[in-house]
Amino acid sequence: MNTRFYWRPIPLFPEEAPAFAAPLAGGWMRFVAVERIARTGPPRIVSVDELPREVFARLTAPRPAIAGLAMDRPRIMGIVNVTPDSFSDGGLHADPAAAIAHGEALAEAGADMLDVGGESTRPGADPVPEDVEIARIRPVIAGLAGRLGVPISADTRKAAVARAATGAGAAMVNDVSGLAHDPEMAAEVAGSGAALCLMHSPADPKVMQARARYGDVLLDVYDWLERQLELAEAAGIHRSRIVVDPGIGFGKTLAHNLRLLRGLSLFHALGCPILLGVSRKSFIGDVSGEATPARRVAGSLAVALDAVRQGVQILRVHDVAETRQSLDLWQALHPSEG
Ligand code: HH2
């Protein structure tokens, strides 16, 4: 039987890369070597010229714009939770006027896009009926879309909610079930023309922590995203409209989250932009001892910048101004050519 290989590019800053280095996802980082990983046997570092041609093409091709946003630099997605019970900001912007004001403030602070959600997906959360979810997010999306110059994403697992959201002006559907929750979702997104974020989760939020069992979490999440990408494409959603997300904290232990974060650049081999949500999450509390989510900003920024070093294109964050300032400094230290 042929061994299945996985290819993780090892990122280099442009200023330390030789002239023959390849561009990582057509973006701001370079690479000359790749970690070749198999499920059996130790990983091996191979040179970029040993890559199969199609793998090289996937790893280096510039990514198409998503919801009108060019993917040639790191982008900030600001979180607007219109929920009473989100883990870090539940209840703060639960009425439409407060949520719209919050979205405006995030855009002002430097968000490139906004993600509006009406259902908490924290571990153990109860599902929200779709009419309630629609009532929460539709007025907020309608109030923000087309006014601020930033595209709006709808954080939902349900086709009916996605329909209401795109009808109100959302340009992206952020499905934290990666099309696994609602069988109608793929056709709904395909027909709407919206972009899609496919995030990995092993099960519904209510039970997902009990499903945190993997052979190798990095490779299992990769395989799962690859399958869901094929499903999306078969439903008529072109790969150029899709971003992938390993789903940090969704059905994962601390060890799983850390393995995924160390290996993030593997996901470039899927050929899509990568979105990452680590903001204020509980693994930051596990590592740092900080129990209060709103006091996990520094840890969130440390992980966000490491993700940018690995070529991650979109950071989903609560603390937009702080993330913008960190990115500005990071980019001043590591200017891209051109
Ligand atoms: N995390 C959360 C919600 N949506 N979407 C993507 N694509 N990636 C993520 O990591 C992600 C997400 C959970 O965070 P939050 O919205 O702050 O909390 P809650 O689910 O409690 O509303």
pTM, rounded to two decimals: 0.97
* H/E stretch holding 256: helix 254-262
CA angle, residues 211, 213, 218, in degrees to nearest 5: 120
Q: Which residues are catalytic?
A: 281, 316
Instruction: Tell me the average pLDDT across 58-67.
Output: 98
3.20.20.20, 3.40.50.10420, 3.40.50.261, 3.40.50.300: CATH of 75-333: 3.20.20.20
Instruction: Tell me the average pLDDT across 289-308.
Output: 98
Nearest CA to ligand 1 atom 9: 277
DSSP string computed for 165-214: HHHTT--EEEETTTT-S-TTHHHHHHHHT-EEEEE--SS-TTTGGGG---
Handedness of CA 178, 324, 70, 138 (dihedral sign): positive
Rg (CA), the chain: 19
**Cα separation values, 328 from 73, 76, 156, 265, 300, Å:** 11, 12, 30, 22, 16
Amino acid symbol at 156: T
Q: Which atom of ligand 1 is nearest to the CA of 277?
A: 10
Q: Which atom of ligand 1 is nearest to the CA of 275?
A: 7
User: How far from chain centre, in Å, is Cα 96?
Assistant: 25
pLDDT in tens, 88-139: 888 888 899 999 999 999 999 999 999 999 999 988 888 899 999 999 999 9
Nearest CA to ligand 1 atom 1: 277
Nearest CA to ligand 1 atom 11: 277
3-state secondary structure of 153: strand
Q: What residues does ligand 1 touch, defined as CB less than 6 Å away?
A: 79, 81, 83, 86-88, 117, 120-122, 155, 174, 176, 197, 199, 245, 247-248, 275, 277, 316
DSSP single-letter state for residue 75: E
Pick from 97, 85, 88: which is nearest to 132 by CA?
Answer: 85
Q: Rounded to the nearest whole angstrom, what is the distance from the C-alpha of residue 317 to the centroid of ligand 1? A: 9
Split at pLDDT 50, 70, 90, the class of 211 is confident
Q: Rounded to the nearest whole angstrom, what is the distance from the C-alpha of residue 178 to the centroid of ligand 1? A: 13
45 bridge partner residues: 35
Q: What percent of the chain has pLDDT over 70?
A: 99
Q: Where are the domains of the chain?
A: 6-60, 75-333
pLDDT at 338: 47
